[in-house]
């Protein structure tokens, strides 16, 4: 059995510590989230004749920004905000309970609000075929076995349910990866799946009509420490199981910072973010679920013949 790629406990700790600082630093996350939410306009097209979703899952909900937008889009739906870090869900609940700001309309106290659930994306505590829409913004880059997780998504989605997610691609933070490679043999930036691998994983899990897109965004920073501070504020720190467990020394950090300076543009140090977004549909009821390339058949116990001996 191969060693795990990520230290899940470290992922939970990092996002737990960043709950209070996340929203102020989440500029890119909000941009990608807005694009994903726009894609949901397709579901509201009257020509499709689809009924509004009853159950919507926001996986990796963080501080609940997207969950709130989903609840406003479908006020009668049950929106589940699921996250690995409990402090993130507490932050979302505190935001929902915050007093109204001057100039904003009164909040309806009887309106539905997202239901927080603290759980792991790798083991969803949801019934089979119970979710109409599964939405996930920039969460799945922390999952090392994407095909297995997609099989779990397939299990909880209703037939013809919608899967919509974004994740980071391999060109994300390549400048930072290269800079640290000049100073340290230990990895400092996570590896990410490319577009082809994401598409293959969707097909292998049995989803149909998959559409996968790739966008490249560039952020600019005054120096490398500013980029590192933003990553810490987001909880996006090094959670690789093979990471160096001691602090990065001043000498290594200085060498990496000097190497990064070679990338400086007139407006600052660039940091690349490759965004992969995907949309796909769950198949018809009764379609076998695929795991590791094998179709898994579900046979009700009542249909298993019993041979009785005299």
Closest CA to 170 of 203, 137, 136, 196: 196
DSSP 244: -
Q: Tens digits of per-residue pLDDT, 159-194? A: 999 999 999 999 999 999 999 888 776 666 778 889
The predicted structure's pLDDT at residue 150: 97
pLDDT: which is higher, 262 or 303: 262
Over range 29-46, report the average pLDDT: 92
pLDDT at 132: 97
Distance separating alpha carbons of residues 160 and 182, to the nearest angstrom: 48
| Per-residue pLDDT tens digits for 23-32 | 999 999 999 9
Written as one string, the DSSP assignment of 100-158 is PPTTSPPP-TTS--PEEEE--TTS--S-TT-EEEEEEES-GGG-S-HHHHHHHHHHHEE
Helix (H, G, I), strand (E, B) or coil at 79: strand
What tokens were used for 10? 């470290």
Is 60 exceeded by the pLDDT of residue 98? Answer: no
27-41, 67-81, 106-120, 263-277, range with the lowest pLDDT: 106-120
Write down the pLDDT at residue 189: 73
Domains of the chain: 8-99+107-175+190-218+274-298 (3.40.50.150)
Of 78, 73, 155, nearest to 117 by C-alpha is: 78
Give 290-296's long-range contacts (Cβ < 8 A, gap of 24+): 290/151, 290/204, 290/205, 290/206, 291/147, 291/148, 291/151, 292/147, 293/204
Q: Are strands 269-281 and 208-221 parallel, antiparallel or unpaired?
A: antiparallel
Per-residue pLDDT at 45: 81
Q: What is the mean pLDDT of the chain?
A: 87
Q: Is the pLDDT of residue 86 over 90?
A: yes
| Residues comprising the chain, all counted | 310
């Amino acid at each position: 059995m191969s060693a795990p790629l990520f230290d899940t406990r470290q992922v939970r700790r990092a996002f737990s510590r960043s709950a209070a600082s996340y929203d102020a630093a989440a500029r890119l996350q909000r941009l990608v989230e807005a694009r994903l939410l726009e894609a949901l306009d397709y579901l509201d097209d009257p020509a499709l004749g689809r009924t509004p979703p009853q159950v919507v899952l926001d996986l990796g909900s963080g501080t609940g920004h997207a969950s709130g937008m989903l609840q406003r889009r479908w006020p009668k739906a049950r929106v589940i905000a699921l996250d690995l870090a409990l402090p993130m869900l507490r932050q979302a609940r505190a935001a929902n309970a915050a007093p109204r700001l001057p100039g904003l309309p009164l909040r309806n106290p009887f309106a539905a609000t997202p239901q927080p659930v603290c759980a792991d994306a790798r083991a969803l505590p949801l019934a089979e075929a119970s979710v109409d829409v599964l939405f996930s913004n920039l969460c799945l880059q922390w999952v090392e076995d994407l095909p297995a997780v997609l099989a779990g998504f397939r299990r909880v989605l209703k037939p013809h349910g919608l899967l919509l997610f974004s994740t980071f691609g391999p060109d994300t933070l390549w400048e930072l990866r290269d800079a640290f490679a000049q100073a340290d043999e230990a990895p400092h930036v996570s590896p990410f799946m490319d577009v082809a691998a994401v598409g293959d994983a969707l097909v292998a899990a049995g989803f149909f009509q998959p559409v996968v897109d790739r966008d490249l965004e560039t952020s600019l920073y005054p120096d490398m420490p500013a980029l590192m501070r933003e990553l810490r504020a987001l909880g996006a720190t090094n959670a690789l199981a093979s990471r160096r467990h001691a602090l990065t020394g001043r000498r290594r950090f200085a060498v990496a910072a000097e190497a990064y300076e070679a990338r400086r543009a007139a407006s600052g140090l660039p940091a690349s973010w490759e965004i992969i977004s995907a949309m796909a549909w769950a198949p018809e009821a009764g379609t076998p679920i695929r795991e590791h390339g094998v179709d898994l058949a579900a046979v009700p116990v009542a249909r298993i013949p019993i041979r009785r001996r005299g």
